[in-house]
Amino acid sequence: MKNLTKKEALLQAAKELFGEYGFAETTFKKISDRAGVALGLLTHHYGNKEKLFFAAGMDVLENFISVLQQATADAEDGRTGVLSFCRSYLAFSIDPDTHWLVLVRCSPYSDMKTSEDRDIMLRKFEEVHHLLEVQLQRGMDDGSIVPLCPASTAQVITGLMVGANRTRVLTPYTFGSSQDFYTETLAFVDRAISARN
């Protein structure tokens, strides 16, 4: 792994392996071998596997939030902001370089060992929800979105994104092409919120 510090190389290898094999099947030895870094440095930098797993999940989540912020920052109106949010959410989930599966496995709903880690992760996921809620309120204010409850609608749309993502990424079922599935998901959101329909 070129141009990375040893600590960064370990985190990169951990994200790859946790995404590929999950928590139970990923070992410190596999991580150190993939990173090309001495095994003892894992404990030095991260302490234990749970802390490394949490660090990997947080890294992916922070990158995810950054992508969503960028996607909504220049939207011309709230409706466009919501659709940009959703499009970026779905695109992030299928980009192998984002290590999305780590985040799926490290959500606040997973069996994390400490409530402190779960609370931190939950607060981060609340930032994702808040970004969407802001765009929904913006759309009602600018007239591009029908009147609705921003908090509840953000929750429904987030649930739809999670469900669409899990259907495409984690299940063996195929309903036409995968791309059509995400395209129809976006069209469904647009039909539900748009004041232009």
Among the ranges 32-36, 169-173, 187-191, which has the highest mean pLDDT value?
Answer: 187-191
Considering the domain architecture, whether residues 111 and 31 belong to the same structural domain is answered as no
Tell me what pLDDT residue 51 has. 86
Model confidence at 59: pLDDT above 60: yes
What was the pLDDT predicted at 109? 45
Tokens of 150: 């921003």
Q: How confident is the model at residue 89, as a pLDDT?
A: 95
Are 62 and 40 contained in the same domain?
Answer: no
The mean pLDDT of 140-150, rounded to a whole number, is 97
**Which residue intervals of 1-114 are DSSP H helices?**
6-25, 28-35, 40-46, 49-73, 78-94, 100-105
Number of structural domains found in the chain = 2
Residue 82: the pLDDT is: 98
Same domain, 35 and 81: no
Q: pLDDT by residue (tens digit) across 93-132?
A: 888 889 888 877 655 445 555 677 778 888 888 999 999 9
pLDDT (0 to 100) of residue 191: 96
Q: What is the CATH number of the domain that holds 15?
A: 1.10.10.60
Same domain? For 62 and 3 the reply is no
Residue 108: what pLDDT? 46
Kindly state whether residues 117 and 35 are assigned to the same domain: no
pLDDT given for residue 118 in this prediction: 76
Residues 95 and 167 in one domain: yes
Closest C-alpha to 60, from 21, 24, 16, 90: 16
Buried/exposed code over 102-119 (b: 16+ C-beta within 10 A; e: otherwise):
bbbbbebeeebeeeebbe
Percent of the chain at pLDDT above 70? 88
Q: List the CATH number of the domain containing 147.
A: 1.10.357.10
182 vs 72, more confident = 72
- Whether residue 42 sits in one domain with residue 66: no
Domain span at residue 97 reads 56-193
pLDDT value, residue 25: 87
- Residues 72, 102, single domain; the answer is yes
What is the pLDDT, as a whole number, of residue 122? 84
Average pLDDT, the chain: 87
**Stretch 64-78: mean pLDDT, rounded?**
96
Return the closest-CA partner of residue 67 out of 79, 59, 55.
59
